[in-house]
Amino acid sequence: MNLNQLKTVAVAIAALGALMAAPAHAGKTLDNIKAKGQVVCGVNTGLAGFAAADSAGKWSGLDVDVCRALAAAVLSDPEKVKFVPLNAQQRFTALQSGEVDILSRNTTFTLTRDASLGLSSTVANYYDGQGFMVTAKSKIKSAKQLKGQTVCVQSGTTTEKNLTDYSKANGLNIKPVVFEKLEAAENAYFTGRCVSYTTDASGLSSTRSKVAKDPKDHVILPDLISKEPLGPVVRRGDDEWFAIVKWVMYGLLEAEENGITQANVEQMKASTSPVVQRLLGGGTEDTGKLLGLDKEWLARAIKATGNYGESFERNVGPKSPLGLPRGLNNLWNKGGLMYAYPVR
């Protein structure tokens, strides 16, 4: 290698080093969010525990908390969120067109969605599986007993495709009764048009709790016929915004793992633990700078919604109206699948 070649290599190495040390550019999505002063978040039209508005128009739910945590991290205010309710058919178009900044709407990550829609799956915030609900008086104990029966299902969902696959694989000749809107599918089941209603098991619990006249009259069968990793989705092509969404979610998991809660976040800033200092911006490492944010981005997110476990318990956990067990959604060191990449 001659002298000129050595100089070229040296310049390239120096440039790469500078690039790696530089803070991240904010990205066009974050620039737009700051310009309009709010995060525009696509959510479910009304799924208790995940995204639903009360009579005063106040949104709450596991997916809603993702949006509030992001607003706290990037705009220093968890209330600076515009919630846009979207049905299953509208949701991807709304994100693709830029109508919303993020889709936080109990959406299953699949290869097709991740690879062909111009979208990127971020981090699963609920691991689920598709189930079936029937009336208690039907005496049905297993999905295999639905042979030849009518099943209400929402169109434009993985649920509809899973039902077809399950019926064909098991020779059940199930008769899907398909509806565009969630509310229509629920109503059809409760008025007796279908023998069963199928969706994600968490959604069945939500529907039974919110819509049934008497939840005890309806049984969720033990069969799960699919894997449904649910989580927020963003547009492909803005790596900076993708990283922010991903690391806010990982940060809320890391907070739970390290005992940082909504109530003690300010107190924990005085911790001498290097891990806690990194999470809360108290040490010498500035993780916010790498994301185009300030040092306390994650501290604000935790203060807004609590850690992941707190959000789970408040919205869908055993003491909530849904009463769902933590199960697969427990931390990795407690038998679950929730495993955050290290915030460092």
Which residues are paired to 314 by β-bridges?
none
Q: What confidence score (pLDDT) does residue 22 get?
A: 43
Instruction: Please check the confidence at residue 221 and state whether its pLDDT lies above 50.
Output: yes
Closest to 232 (Cα-Cα) out of 119, 151, 311, 326 = 119
**What is the per-residue pLDDT across 76-125, written as a single tens digit (0 to 9) for each?**
999 999 999 999 999 999 999 999 999 999 999 999 999 999 999 999 99
Q: What confidence score (pLDDT) does residue 25 get?
A: 52
Residue with the bigger pLDDT between 248 and 4: it is 248
The residue type at 310 = E
Residue 216 · residue 136 · CB < 8 Å: yes
Q: What confidence score (pLDDT) does residue 26 get?
A: 53
Q: Do 94 and 242 have their domain in common?
A: yes
pLDDT band, residue 285 (cuts 50/70/90): confident
Q: Residue 275 has which token pair?
A: 């891990």
* Mean pLDDT across the chain: 92
Q: What confidence score (pLDDT) does residue 284 get?
A: 84
Residue 220 · residue 205 · CB < 8 Å: yes
Q: What confidence score (pLDDT) does residue 27 get?
A: 78
pLDDT band, residue 301 (cuts 50/70/90): very high
The CATH number linked to 177 is 3.40.190.10
Write out the residue range of the structural domain in which residue 180 sits: 130-226
**What is the per-residue pLDDT across 20-76, written as a single tens digit (0 to 9) for each?**
444 445 579 999 999 999 999 999 999 999 999 999 999 999 999 999 999 999 999
Q: Do 137 and 211 have their domain in common?
A: yes
For the chain, how big is the Rg over CA atoms in Å? 22
Q: Do 91 and 53 have their domain in common?
A: yes
- Of 171, 202, 226, the residue that ends a domain is 226
Q: Do 222 and 103 have their domain in common?
A: no
Closest to 343 (Cα-Cα) out of 305, 304, 312, 308 = 308
Q: What confidence score (pLDDT) does residue 3 get?
A: 46
Q: Do 209 and 70 have their domain in common?
A: no
Q: Do 167 and 219 have their domain in common?
A: yes
Residues of the chain by 3-state class (helix, strand, coil), percent to 5 = 45, 15, 40
Q: What confidence score (pLDDT) does residue 37 get?
A: 98
Number of domains in the chain: 2
The H or E element spanning position 111 is helix 111-116
Inside any domain, residue 13: no
pLDDT band, residue 17 (cuts 50/70/90): very low
Q: What confidence score (pLDDT) does residue 7 get?
A: 45
Model pTM?
0.88
Q: Do 78 and 89 have their domain in common?
A: yes
Q: Do 116 and 202 have their domain in common?
A: no
Instruction: Please check the confidence at residue 337 and state whether its pLDDT lies above 60.
Output: yes
